[in-house]
Amino acid sequence: MSHMSTTSTSRAATTTPTPASARVAGGVGGYIDDRTGAAKAVRFGLSKVFPDHWSFMLGEIAMYSLIILLLTGTFLTFWFVPSAGHTVYDGSYVPLKGIEMSEAYRSTLDISFDIRGGLLIRQIHHWSALLFVASISVHMFRVFFTGAFRKPREINWVIGSTLALLALVEGFAGYSLPDDLLSGTGLSFARGMILSIPIVGSYVSSFVFGGDFPGEALIPRLYVVHVLLIPALLVGLFTAHIMLVFLQKHTQYPGPGRTNSNVVGYPFLPVYTAKAGGFFFIVFGVTTLLATVAQINPIWAYGPYDPSPVTAGSQPDWYMGWLEGAVRLLPGWLEFSVFGWTFSFNIAIGGLILPGIVTMLMYAYPFLEAWVTGDKREHHLLDRPRNAPTRTGLGVMAITFYCLCWAGGGNDIIATHFHMSINDITNILRIAVIAVPPIAFFVTKRICMGLQRRDRELVLHGIESGRIVRMANGEYVEVHEPLDEFRRWELVQHDAHRPLPEPDATDEAGVRRPGLRAARMRAKLSHFWFEDRIEPVTPEELAAAHAHGDHDELAGQTGQPAISTSDTSSALQDTDTTSGASTRH
Amino acid sequence: MTQNSPEGTGDVAMTAPTQPAISDSTDAGSPVDPGELATIPGTTVMVSRFENPGLAPHVHRLADTDPRAAKRAERQVAAMFTLSIIGTIVFCVSYFAVGKTDTVWLPGIGTTLLQNLLLGAGLGFGLFFIGIGAVHWAKTLMPDEEIVEERHTLRSSDEVRDDAVDVMKTGAAGAGLGRRPLIKLTLGGALGLFGLPFIVALRDLGPLPGDRLSHTMWTKGARLVTDPELAPIKAADVTVGSVFHVMPEGIDKVEDVLEQRAKAAVLLMRLSPADILNDKEREWGYEGIVAYSKICTHVGCPVGLYEQQTHHLLCPCHQSTFDVTEDCKVIFGPAHRPLPQLPITVDTDGYLIATSDFHEAVGPSFPERG
């Protein structure tokens, strides 16, 4: 870093020949630095090196969406009236003239039809809300599948998960505010979930809604939650999130020259200022163009909220779809009465328990995996997902479950679109949400291992050149070109974790060791994680492969890569060998 | 798993570090000859690994070597920034110059508001081209040689850690909490309780639920009126196979209209009496005319869809399906309880009236509904 700053300052010195402007900048900068010491932060921040990869932009999209949401949201608050008070519409949208409605709905119509640019801002706000949650999700996928959550970034995973949950709640609160028929239907759904809370449901509902549903209390309350409470939390936690990225430095993908103890990339100034700053404008621009041509949430078409009508095909925004689906798929017999109390687990499981479990698993995963691997090292080099088959399989399993629930949330759309029986779709999905995720796990894990075998194959035998050579004995062989050392390094740099050994039941003195059950559990999980694995090619294997010439290796199908079943005795030594990784370089 | 060798090739090398590392891999079908392998240096090492080759040689871009390419890139960047300026001007001009209600027809989009389109296009391209220009600038003209920065562990040194512990210990000792259990105890209590007022004060968020969830506006003698016309319904006008959305008479007079509508909404259907399989249902109806709560017993959506032929009611939100011939019991979907029936009859003028409120709570289940 010190090397960096010296080069950049010397460059600055040589490329600013206009002393007048330099003096002004130096004067202002000096003035501020005298009083704040900001130069240290400038040096720290602007000389920072960031690694380059397209998948690192996913989190950036989330960050920029948040900024767009704050900007457009502020504009919307200038005209939105967060009140359920009754009024009669007299705006420029003719079909609704003279209709009774709430102030919230009327002001949303005004924003859409009578405030110039209001419709655009509203649609940018809604589109970027969808994009916000979507980019958070794929950003989480990237972090999960590459193992970026490992030490020292577990805390940031927890912060990020919290941000994701807050984004869901914020989005729901937002699209419930206009008080149109669709948002009211969503709120009645939320109220049904609240009522299903065992024992106290009706009390909570009465407190939240200020009495009977829908009431007039909720919209102003929801407004404060939406524009003050959650945004404050989002901005605060996001700041912590990004500060930790600066402090811990960004992870990087493995590759030549990249080690666990360096960062290879481009400096914040000028390259990332231009690239990341430019990307903000690209995200904002694309969202704006989307909001220009693609209508979203046309509240004027739904009409004001009234609890007695509903439109078929009512759907929540996409990120709530999985909970909607869970509630659609759960069978009615999960509701029962005991001692005069009704327990509606047909709703509570989908609306309360399932998101609770998913949240807990999400928070717990980094700690669970660290416990299972027994790995206490810092990890700044990312995993290629194929090199962590069990983790990748678990991730795909979770995503599959999520997607099936999500499909359940659109079972009526599927039914009408594909002319299928809604009952069949529901029944199939009921089985599928339980049966398909494990299959997805298994298939994914096998695909990962297949890809690892292919990597070995490439390293050992090179790339098929398409050149056929006839040998002296008449045999035809295809010439394989070996990989160069840079490409090869990407395929051989990783560690293959090995399972932890079965713990001894007793210590040397023959006394039953404490915590045996946990240790056994851990060994069992470790076997589940790492029993099947494929070791990266070693130099010896490559030398052996080369010594034999390519034509021997053509029978590669029978050649076994060094895959391994669990071998507890050997794995015992292994924890030492894997932890030797950092000393290798 | 079927391809696993019985002993495990990788681990064999681990258990017997003195042997050639992959000599046993012949068991797994490797064509490597163990005798030959023994001569390869390094095979006695447990994990010999490839060395990181270091950064790959840098490949220069066209603009780095060809001044004309660099000039071209510069012009491209400038062109994009110019497009952005034009976009912003389009926004500002159309804000004032274009009428709010003017429309335009666009292929693929249809009729759309012209001003909204121009504002969006102006703002969108104004932003987009700043971004594209900046990224293009960075990619073509800014330094693209990768820089290596060393990482440092965030962990504080042991001295610093010890110091921190010392500071805390000194502070704790200074406060003397350990020596003064009375303060410790009361402080704990005070800190534990101080948040309580903020929870207690939430009490007035709303009234206690009372039994309001169990009652609706329906009373003995209340006329059934159509919704939204609010016209009373003559039994003779309800033909077999028809369905009416019904509210209690006077629904437009109450103050809490939406709250009452949320509970009192009713669906009125007429079946041929022979199709009704349930005695209670027939008794509470009038000559095959039956009235059921429209609010789903699942999470409270209005059960809006009536299938005339099968006499099924379907909730469009979560597809709970109720059989009207069997007292609206659930035949599919996530709901558990049948829709509550409203007992009805006719008054002296032949209009349909309720004989009482619903006999049970309508809408979604709640804990104390029983």
pLDDT at A21: 57
A514-518: long-range pairs with CB below 8 Å, 24+: none
Give the residues across from B224 on adjacent strands. B248
Distance CA A213, CA B209 (A): 11
User: In the prediction, which pLDDT does A578 show?
Assistant: 35
Query: Is A563 in contact with B10 (Cβ distance < 8 A)?
Result: yes
pLDDT of residue A505: 80
A576 pLDDT higher than 80: no
Query: Does the structure show a pLDDT above 70 at A253?
Result: yes
Beta bridge partners of B321: B314, B332
Most A CBs within 10 Å, among B77, B95, B103, B147, to test the A interface: B147
Q: Is A267 helix (H, G, I), strand (E, B) or coil?
A: strand
**Nearest residue, CB atoms, B146 vs list A264, A274, A286:** A264
pLDDT band at A95 (very low <50, low <70, confident <90, very high): very high
Q: Which residues in B lie closer than 8 A to residue A262 (C-beta atoms)?
A: 148-151
Q: Which residues of B touch A536 (CB under 8 A)?
A: 49
Q: Count the neighbouring beta carbons within 10 Å of the beta carbon of residue A486.
A: 16
Letter for the amino acid at A547?
A: A
Q: Which residue does chain A place closest to B28, by CA atoms?
A: A560
Cα A151 to chain center, whole Å? 18
Q: Percent of chain A having pLDDT more than 90?
A: 72
Residue in A211, A270, A574 nearest the CB of B142: A270
pLDDT of residue B110: 87
CB contact under 8 A, B135 and A313: no
Q: CA of B321 to nearest chain A CA: how many angstroms apart? A: 10
Mean pLDDT, all residues of chain A: 88
> B217-239, pLDDT tens digit by residue?
999 999 999 988 999 999 999 99
Question: What residues pair up with B344 in beta bridges, in sequence order?
Answer: B354
CB A260 within 8 A of CB A379: yes
Encoded tokens for A251: 């992870």
Give the residue carrying structure tokens 């006999």.
B359
Q: Which of residues 18-37 of B touch A (CB under 8 A)?
A: 21-22, 25, 28-32, 36-37
CB contact at 8 A, A108 and A223: no
Rounded CA gap, B83 and B69, in Å? 21
pLDDT (0 to 100) of residue A269? 87
Local structure of B273: helix, strand or coil: helix
Strand, helix or coil at B269? strand
| Residues A408/A433, Cβ–Cβ less than 8 Å | yes
Alpha-carbon span B362 to B267, nearest angstrom: 13
The confidence band for A284, taking pLDDT boundaries of 50, 70 and 90, is very high
B154 touches chain A (CB under 8 A): yes
Measure the CA–CA gap between A114 and A405, rounded to whole angstroms. 40
- The predicted pLDDT at position B47 comes to 60
Flag whether pLDDT at A323 surpasses 50.
Answer: yes
Q: What is the pLDDT at residue B90?
A: 97
pLDDT digit string, tens, across residues B318-365? 999 999 999 999 999 999 999 999 999 999 999 999 999 999 999 999
A259 touches chain B (CB under 8 A): yes
In chain A, what residues touch B337 (CB-CB under 8 Å)? 335
Q: Between A77 and A499, name the one with better pLDDT.
A: A77
Q: Which of A281, A430, A483 is best to mutate for the B interface (most B CBs within 10 A)?
A: A281
Q: Do A279 and B53 touch (CB under 8 A)?
A: no
pTM score of the predicted model: 0.87
Q: What is the pLDDT of residues A171-225, one digit of tens each?
A: 999 999 999 999 999 999 999 999 999 999 999 999 999 999 999 999 999 999 9
Q: In sequence order, which residues have a C-beta less than 8 Å from that of residue A204 and are 6 or more positions away?
A: A194, A197
What percent of chain A shows pLDDT beyond 70? 89
Q: Identify the pLDDT of residue B69.
A: 94
How far apart CA A384 and CA A119 sit, in angstroms, is 44
Residue B174, C-beta contacts closer than 8 angstroms, at least 6 positions apart: none
The amino acid present at A426, given as its one-letter code, is T
Q: What sign for the dihedral angle of Cα A456, A457, A460, A465?
A: negative
Which of B29, B301, B366 is opposite residue A202, by nearest beta carbon? B366
pLDDT, one tens digit per residue, over A539-558 is 989 988 888 754 444 433 33
* Tokens 């809300």 belong to residue: A129
Mean pLDDT of A412-438: 94
